[in-house]
């Protein structure tokens, strides 16, 4: 009997080992891929950021002390914050509308969010370039309405950048807010009504607080994406609308100063990680990411 028991212990051990090995094998391609094509390149870049000609921290020092770079980073942050605020405010009624409509109109409303999500950022940005042109439809429309008699300058300035970025990033704000609205137990609202609360009170004391996790998640996504944005500001902005991503591009492609580019992107990454660490304390971003 004892002998039988030992062989069984072996067998169980063996099978568990085989199972673990199989699980590991399933992860192996992902592991190798991420190591070679993600961790290694990023590691190289981080190493590069410490290889300035004048000492390990020279690149960081140059970026942090240079007036121009400070302004660019400040502008990028300002742009990201403002775009986040505008997106959140616009997303809220859109998400609410999604919870109110049914059937055919719901499908239409949902596709209004999902289709732009899928379509190339470049194509969407190009569309805005065509629309906001001097002789484009928006200017024509404004002139027809009599709002203005001269075509307005809507492109290659702040306005163009804001319109384009809000448009591109808006779906990222709508979906998490919508899913948080869906989760609200309707009985809570009825309870508040029946306790005599006004519509305004019910909204601000019950509805809004319950959607805050969705708002936080949506705002975080928009902010993080806006921070590293490149295409839209580069095409719709003017010379003054330089963002951190464009600065990094110019370091690499025009000035060929790799340590500066590396250091700037590390700084960008650190900001992203700090924002993520802070917001993930309040809300589970993971559950919202699945929305897409």
Partner 1 sequence: MAVKETHGVRFEQICKSFGEVKALRPLNLEIKPGEFLTLLGPSGSGKTTLLNIVAGFLDPDDGRLILGGQDVTALPPRARNIGMVFQNYALFPHMSVAENVAYGLKVRGVKGMALQRQVNEALEMVQLGGYGERAIDQLSGGQQQRVALARAMVIEPDLLLMDEPLGALDRQLRKHVQLEIRRLHTKSPRTTIYVTHDQEEALVMSDRVAIMRNGRIVQIGTPGELYEKPDSAYIARFLGESNLLPVKVLGVEKDRIAYSIRGYEGTFSTPAKGQAENTPGEAQLLIRPEALRVSQTDGNSLRVVVEEVVYLGELTATKLRFADGQEGWLRAMKSPAHQPGAVIRVTWAPEDTRLLPAKD
Partner 2 sequence: MRRFKPSSQALTQIAGAVVLAFLVMPIFAVVPASFNQASFIKIPPEELSLQWYSAFIEDRGWMSSLFNSIRVALLTTAIALVIGTLAALGVERLPKRMRPFVIGAVLSPLIVPVIMISIALYYVTRSIGLYGTVTGLALSHALICVPFVLLNVSVSLQRLDPNLARAASGLGARPGYVFRTVTLPAIWPGVASGGAFAFVLSFDEVVISLFIAGYGAKTLPVKLWEQIRVEFTPVAAVGSTLILTFTVVLFILTRLSARKRNSAAEGSQ
Task: Give 55's DSSP letter.
Answer: B
CB of 103 to partner 2, least distance (A): 14
List the single partner that 123 binds among partner 2, partner 1, none, CB under 5 to 8 Å by kind: partner 2
Candidate residues 72, 215, 224, 260; the one interacting with partner 2 per rule CB under 8 A? 224
Minimum distance between the CB of residue 4 and partner 1, rounded to whole angstroms?
6
Site for partner 2 in 24-83 (CB under 8 A): 24, 26-30, 33-34, 37-38, 40-42, 44-45, 48
CA distances from 1 to 4, 10, 15, 195, 237 (A): 5, 15, 21, 72, 81
Q: Does 151 bind partner 2 (CB under 8 A)?
A: no
String of DSSP letters for 200-256: HHIIIIIIHHHHHHHHHHHHHHHHHHHHT--HHHHHH--TT---HHHHHHHHHHTS-
Q: Does 67 bind partner 1 (CB under 8 A)?
A: no
Tell which phi-psi region holds residue 208, choosing left (phi > 0), alpha (psi between -120 and 50) or beta: alpha
Contact between 211 and 181 under an 8 Å Cβ cutoff? The reply is: yes
Angstrom distance (rounded) from CA 279 to CA 286: 11
* Interaction of residue 141 with partner 2, rule CB under 8 A: no
Site for partner 2 contains 269 (CB under 8 A): yes
Among positions 4-43, residues that touch partner 1 (CB under 8 A) are: 4-5, 7-8, 11-12, 15
Residue of 69, 167, 215, 237 interacting with partner 2 (CB under 8 A): 167
Does residue 88 contact residue 215 with C-beta atoms inside 8 Å?
Answer: yes
Q: CB 46 → partner 1: shortest distance, Å?
A: 43
Please report, as ranges, the residues that interact with partner 1 according to CB under 8 A: 4-5, 7-8, 11-12, 15
């Amino acid at each position: 009997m004892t002998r039988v028991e030992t062989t069984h212990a072996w067998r169980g051990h063996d099978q568990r080992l085989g199972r673990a090995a199989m699980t590991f094998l399933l992860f192996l391609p992902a592991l190798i891929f991420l190591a070679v094509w993600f961790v290694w390149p990023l590691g190289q870049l981080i190493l590069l950021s410490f290889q300035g000609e004048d000492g390990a921290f020279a690149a960081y020092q140059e970026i942090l002390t240079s007036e121009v770079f400070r302004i660019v980073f400040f502008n990028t942050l300002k742009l990201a914050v403002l775009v986040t605020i505008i997106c959140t405010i616009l997303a809220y009624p859109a998400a609410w509308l999604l919870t109110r409509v049914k059937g055919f109109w719901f499908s239409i409303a949902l596709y209004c969010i999902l289709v732009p999500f899928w379509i190339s950022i470049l194509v969407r940005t190009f569309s805005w370039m065509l629309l906001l042109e001097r002789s484009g439809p928006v200017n024509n429309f404004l002139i027809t309405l009599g709002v203005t008699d001269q075509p307005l300058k809507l492109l290659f300035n702040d306005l163009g950048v804001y319109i384009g970025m809000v448009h591109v990033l808006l779906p990222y704000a709508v979906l998490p807010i919508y899913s948080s609205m869906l989760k609200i137990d309707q009985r809570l609202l009825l309870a508040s009504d029946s306790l005599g609360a006004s519509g305004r009170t019910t909204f601000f004391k019950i509805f809004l607080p319950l959607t805050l996790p969705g708002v936080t998640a949506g705002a975080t996504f928009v902010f993080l994406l806006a921070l590293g944005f490149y295409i839209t500001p580069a095409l719709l902005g003017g010379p003054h609308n330089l963002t951190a991503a464009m600065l990094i591009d110019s370091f690499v492609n025009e000035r060929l100063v790799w340590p500066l580019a590396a250091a700037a992107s590390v700084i960008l990454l650190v900001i992203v990680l700090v924002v993520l660490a802070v917001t993930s304390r309040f809300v589970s971003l993971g559950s919202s990411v699945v929305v897409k």
